[in-house]
Structure 1
Amino acid sequence: MKRWRQRVAETAPSGWPAHVHPVIQRIYAARGVCTPAGATHRLALLHPPALLGGMDKAVALLIDAIDQGQRIVIAGDYDCDGATGAAVAERGLRLLGAAQVSHVVPNRFVHGYGLSEALVASLEPAPDLIVTVDNGVASVDGVAAAHARGIRVLVTDHHLPGDALPDADAMVNPNLDGDAFPSKALAGVGVMFYLLLAVRAAMRDAGRFAEGAEPDLGALLDLVALGTVADLVPLDFNNRVLVDAGLKRMRAGKACAGITALIEASNRAIATITATDLAFAIGPRLNAAGRLEDMSLGVACLLTDDTGIARRYAEQLTAINQERREMQAGMVEEAEAMVAKASYGDAVGVALFDRGWHAGIVGLVASKLKDKLHRPVLAFAPAGDETDELRGSARSIPGFHIRDALAEIDAKHPGLILRFGGHAMAAGLSMQASEFARFAAIFDATARAHLDEERLQALVQTDGELDYRDHTLDLARQLRFAGPWGQAFPAPVFENVFECASWKPMGGKHLRFQLRHEQGGAPLDAVMFSCFDGTPPPARFRAAYELTVNDWQGRESVRLLITHLEPM
């Protein structure tokens, strides 16, 4: 059984207009938004770019490169944040007058992560300036290699810094020590967008734009929204403003050709696209390219303005994503078999390794196992065919900062970890295969030292009960477009006791129900995914669920999406 906890507002909602449903007001208040101001997502309310540290040097470096017609290479990353960030950088710099700008994305199996020495060596001819996006804060050797070739480097990143910073010509990162920027949650694409805003402002102040000719950087917000949501950074107010603006562009039919094609390929409706769609349908299609092949395909999809070419790219990305899904399913099944063994029975920090696993998918395996076990999980695969090095990906649970844990292990056991980096909930690392068993024991001991029994018990967090009279299409529609919901600003989940009037399997692993609210009212349609093992559901149960809009053949109806249930 899991722990259940209701979100409770510290301050009562006030000042909301009458058309905003009281349930919506209650949900916002439970997330610290008690007045309409906290849900007023106007771009004018964004934190000013000038508050980001290092901005003056970065702006001067870019304007100088633009004015001199220098060759600028955007060095992205092989995930969705890095791909969207590279596209924002290239599109934005062209809007601002850069004549020679291109991009490069590392192949994780050839160049490794970030601005590596190998990636710098591959740049022919050598550019005048490298601009990193979503990486670079740990690229000490890569920046040195660039300087050795006479290449200047501007680092834009959002990852936490290590003990040493690269000797970049300029660096913009809200998470550097002492940086005064109020929002530390910017994704890599968000940092790049902010830099472009600052460059435009400097050009405006210098009188560089003719009247009415200032470039519209708002055209990049669809890309900013996708990268921000897909990277699972906290959706604080600043990020919600960015994501909301990007979603509105998409719904208005103003998204770039690549995003539009990806939405169509995922069978989502453009007019009702949400942050959840970006997280679970659009983002994975881009990420699949970086996991299994080359993220250059994803960036190309986001850069083309040709609808036909964009659709072909989207079809390729969808096919790669399907291959990823099939490969992931097999690896997760093998991982579950591993943890079923007695040797893993009482592990608090779980480390898994199989020589047949794919290095691009271990992060997804760690995520699935983390959800199932409610334990921090690391999954490893060989880094390549001609090396004894392992590449690992970590996913954590609340209360256990995974990057800090790896830093602690690195400090106590120098040399055990070759490289590491990441955030509180996700991280990556490398080590020698011969050290895996020792690392696994140390990681388990570290997790035990920081996690008590309460934190190891999974939590079902809800927004309380919903009156049977509130199961309405109007409320479901308001919930769909409120938010935007995502990391640290979760989609509303309600809890109630239901009688199961009827049920039937759907697609093998899923269930469809007709439920009766214990207070009365009409039967409610409900679904639960990936839950059916052949055992009939209980006749009466307590359920955690989302109130959603079911779109079917042009008709809308209310449907409950059950996320957890327990018999009563």
Structure 2
Amino acid sequence: ARCASPFDLGFALGPRLNAAGRLEDMALGIECLITDDEGRAWAIAQELNDINLKRREIEADMQGTALLHLDDFEPADASTIAVFDDGWHQGVIGIVASRLKEKFYRPTITFAPAGDGWIKGSGRSIPGFHLRDALDLVSKKVPGLIDKFGGHAMAAGLSIRGDHFDTFAQAFEAVGRAWLTEAQLERVVETDGPLEDDFYSTQFIELLDSQVWGQGFAPPVFCDEFRVVSQRILKDKHLKLLLERNGRRYDAIWFGHTDALGDKARVAFRLDANEYNGVTKVQLLVEHAEPV
């Protein structure tokens, strides 16, 4: 059995433990981690997986509703996003805010009902816009508007009265317009540049995987031009690619993206070792791509 990697912890284990706290009881995830009974751990793991599948369904439904709300949203005309739906689940609004922030590249707050006329918001931000400080300024400019709030630069939460949503959205947008420049509202993908042919290897990937990467010390992202040999959509939501450079071909995948690329593309990517039928091959995890 192989050791768990940071990717496994962040993208496999993490969301399943997290889903229990969002939809049901956080104690379930904690018990799964600390129990000495292997059978009990396996049973809880399966239950956590089922909860996470349910979370994904709820999230997909909420995201679809959010995009309907934002049907005429023009990013060029707005520096922030605030959206509310009375059918949304409090435990999932943060994830939806994160997805919308990634799609539109705007500080985003999504709201769900919290009972007795209150609504609860969860926000995600972009670099250069301190979300908690922005809420602090809104609360000072419009006293009594926000009941309570908290968080940090990139994520924050708050509670307001449901009938004050429009007032909040306008006040939040005013702070966004005052604080954010056009340059800050343009998504920038920072890369480590091209990679020499010999480094497209499982040995080099092992070397990268032996390091500890994280917030403020991200794993390297490389960038180069490739010929797009073939492309297809996987599971209705991912773009599976075969890319060629200097006579060598590489499998690649762009998660959460389905728009086709042209015959030639500039690709920003991370390296991944993908094992299939007992054979390990280099795979490119696409961060961003654009036609050349």
1:510–1:545 CA distance, 2 compared to 1 (3 A):
same
Q: CA RMSD in A?
A: 1.6
Give the Å deviation of 1:447. Answer: 0.9
1:563 aligns with 2:263: no
Q: Alpha-carbon deviations, 1:273-309, whole Å to 9, x = none?
A: 2222212111111111111112122222223211111
- Measured in 1, the distance between the counterparts of 2:65 and 2:181 equals 28
1:431 aligns with 2:157: no
Mapping of residues 301-340 of structure 1, within 5 Å: 301-340=32-71
Give the Å deviation of 1:343. Answer: 7.8
- Measured in 2, the distance between the counterparts of 1:421 and 1:378 equals 13
Q: Which of 477, 481, 487 is the matching residue for 2:215?
A: 487
- Measured in 1, the distance between the counterparts of 2:171 and 2:280 equals 53
Give the Å deviation of 1:419. Answer: 0.8
- Measured in 2, the distance between the counterparts of 1:425 and 1:541 equals 31
Counterpart for residue 378 of structure 1: 109
Higher mean alpha-carbon deviation, 354-363 vs 404-413, is at 404-413
Letter in 2 for 1:500: V
- Measured in 1, the distance between the counterparts of 2:9 and 2:96 equals 20
| Larger RCO: 1 or 2 (CA < 8 Å, sep 6+) | 1
Q: Which of 210, 224, 243 is the matching residue for 1:496?
A: 224
Give the Å deviation of 1:329. Answer: 0.6
- Measured in 2, the distance between the counterparts of 1:527 and 1:302 equals 31
1:392 aligns with 2:84: no
- Measured in 2, the distance between the counterparts of 1:432 and 1:315 equals 38
Unaligned runs of 5+ in 1: 1-269
- The 3-state SS of whatever aligns with 2:215 is coil
Give the Å deviation of 1:510. Answer: 2.4
1:345–1:524 CA distance, 2 compared to 1 (3 A):
closer
Give the Å deviation of 1:471. Answer: 1.1
1:472 aligns with 2:201: yes
Letter in 2 for 1:337: L
Give the Å deviation of 1:558. Answer: 0.8
Preserved contact between residue 338 and residue 344 of structure 1 (Cα < 8 Å): no
1:454 aligns with 2:197: no
Greater per-residue strand proportion: 2
Letter in 2 for 1:564: H
1:523–1:305 CA distance, 2 compared to 1 (3 A):
same
Q: Alpha-carbon deviations, 1:22-57, whole Å to 9, x = none?
A: xxxxxxxxxxxxxxxxxxxxxxxxxxxxxxxxxxxx
- Measured in 1, the distance between the counterparts of 2:166 and 2:234 equals 42
1:463–1:272 CA distance, 2 compared to 1 (3 A):
farther
1:276–1:342 CA distance, 2 compared to 1 (3 A):
closer
Mapping of residues 122-271 of structure 1, within 5 Å: 271=2
Runs (4+) of structure 1 exceeding 6 A deviation are none
Preserved contact between residue 374 and residue 397 of structure 1 (Cα < 8 Å): yes
1:287 aligns with 2:18: yes
Give the Å deviation of 1:341. Answer: 1.8
Q: Alpha-carbon deviations, 1:221-265, whole Å to 9, x = none?
A: xxxxxxxxxxxxxxxxxxxxxxxxxxxxxxxxxxxxxxxxxxxxx
Q: Which of 244, 251, 267 is the matching residue for 1:525?
A: 251
- TM-score, L = length of structure 2: 0.95
- The 3-state SS of whatever aligns with 2:225 is strand
Q: Which of 134, 138, 141 is the matching residue for 1:405?
A: 134
Q: Which of 8, 16, 31 is the matching residue for 1:277?
A: 8
Preserved contact between residue 276 and residue 485 of structure 1 (Cα < 8 Å): no
Letter in 1 for 2:94: G
- The 3-state SS of whatever aligns with 1:441 is helix
Unaligned runs of 5+ in 2: none
Letter in 2 for 1:505: I
Pairs aligned (count): 292
Letter in 2 for 1:425: M
1:343–1:454 CA distance, 2 compared to 1 (3 A):
closer
Mapping of residues 410-425 of structure 1, within 5 Å: 410-425=139-154
- Measured in 2, the distance between the counterparts of 1:504 and 1:432 equals 46
Give the Å deviation of 1:480. Answer: 2.1
> Larger radius of gyration, structure 1 or 2?
1
- Measured in 1, the distance between the counterparts of 2:208 and 2:172 equals 41
Letter in 2 for 1:280: F
- Measured in 1, the distance between the counterparts of 2:52 and 2:225 equals 38
1:272–1:521 CA distance, 2 compared to 1 (3 A):
farther
Q: Alpha-carbon deviations, 1:507-558, whole Å to 9, x = none?
A: 33323322221xx14222222223225xx42101100111110112332111
1:553 aligns with 2:277: yes
1:445 aligns with 2:174: yes
Preserved contact between residue 261 and residue 290 of structure 2 (Cα < 8 Å): no
- The 3-state SS of whatever aligns with 1:523 is strand
- Measured in 1, the distance between the counterparts of 2:192 and 2:90 equals 38
1:435–1:554 CA distance, 2 compared to 1 (3 A):
same
- The 3-state SS of whatever aligns with 1:271 is coil
- Measured in 2, the distance between the counterparts of 1:539 and 1:343 equals 29
- TM-score, L = length of structure 1: 0.50
- Measured in 2, the distance between the counterparts of 1:499 and 1:343 equals 33
Counterpart for residue 509 of structure 1: 237
